[in-house]
Amino acid sequence: MKRIAESTVRRLSVYLRYLEESSGRGLSTLSSDELAKHAGTTSAQVRKDLSFFGSFGKRGLGYSVPELTDSLREILGLARDWSVAIVGAGKIGTALAQDRGFGSRRFHVVAIYDVDPAKIGKPIGPHTVRDFARLESDSARARADIAVLVVPADSAQDAAERLAKAGYLAILNFAPVQLQCPPEVAVRSVNLALELEGLSFELTSRRR
């Protein structure tokens, strides 16, 4: 199968969200044009995106909401649940662990790690902060699928390597560093400083 662009996958998620909302409002079909409006793209783009994976629509009619919902869930790997471990029990890690919406859908936080003795053992929602030294022994028994890395920049690379060795399949990285990981580990980064600096650039350059 041809490689799918990351931008395409992002849009599929957005379509899915709108489909779920539409389903809640009792709609049974949706056109590429309606999907496009709510996803901030064009109808041609919607059709192209979906056509990578098959023919889901009916000509003259549009897409069946329940059918396309199921198909997109299948495509995005959301027909199953994923377990998530939060690595780093700082302010943001703690907030993410408790945030509904982050844990919702098919992603379930199953553990929170930290190296700080002052934090280890502390309760966070239904969890207790575990010693990151136990990562390897924990993982031998039961490992989460995805790690959310919320540690300081200078310990992120080490932590990532241990996660990769311990068999984690994916890392969502919040540390402001370019992680070096073996190719079998999927990595995405969210870098808030970068986003703010992007806004700073726009405000500086594009303002009339």
Give residues in contact with DNA (CB under 7 A). 3, 5-8, 31-33, 41-45, 47-48, 50-51, 55-63
**Complex with DNA: residue 63 or 113, whichever CB lies closer:** 63
**Complex with a copy of itself: residue 61 or 174, whichever CB lies closer:** 174
Q: Which partner from the list DNA, a copy of itself, none does 39 bind, CB cut-off 5 to 8 Å by kind?
A: a copy of itself
**Complex with a copy of itself: residue 75 or 135, whichever CB lies closer:** 75
**Taking a C-beta distance cutoff of 8 angstroms, is the pair 32, 47 a contact?**
yes
**Taking a C-beta distance cutoff of 8 angstroms, is the pair 62, 32 a contact?**
yes
How far apart CA 197 and CA 172 sit, in angstroms, is: 21
**Complex with a copy of itself: residue 61 or 196, whichever CB lies closer:** 196
According to CB under 8 A, which one of 6, 25, 59, 60 is a site residue for a copy of itself?
A: 6
**Complex with a copy of itself: residue 92 or 110, whichever CB lies closer:** 92
**Taking a C-beta distance cutoff of 8 angstroms, is the pair 62, 31 a contact?**
yes
- In degrees and rounded to multiples of 5, residue 178 shows phi and psi of -85, 100
140 to 159, contacts with a copy of itself by CB under 8 A? 145-146, 153
* No. of helices (H) and no. of strands (E), the chain: 8, 11
According to CB under 8 A, which one of 35, 96, 109, 164 is a site residue for a copy of itself?
A: 96
Beta bridge partners of 57: 63
Residue 4, interface with a copy of itself (CB under 8 A)? yes
- In degrees and rounded to multiples of 5, residue 30 shows phi and psi of -145, 140
* x/- track of binding to a copy of itself for residues 60-89 (CB under 8 A): ---------------xxxx---x-x-----
List the structure tokens of 89.
């029990």
**Exposed e or buried b per residue across 35-45, where buried means at least 16 C-beta atoms within 10 angstroms of its C-beta:** bbeebebeeeb
Give the contacts of 200 (CB within 8 A, at least 6 positions apart): none
In the complex, the residues that contact a copy of itself under the rule CB under 8 A are 1, 4, 6, 9-10, 12-14, 16-17, 38-40, 75-78, 82, 84, 90-92, 94-96, 98-99, 101-102, 104-107, 145-146, 153, 169-170, 172, 176, 178, 184, 186, 188, 190, 192-208
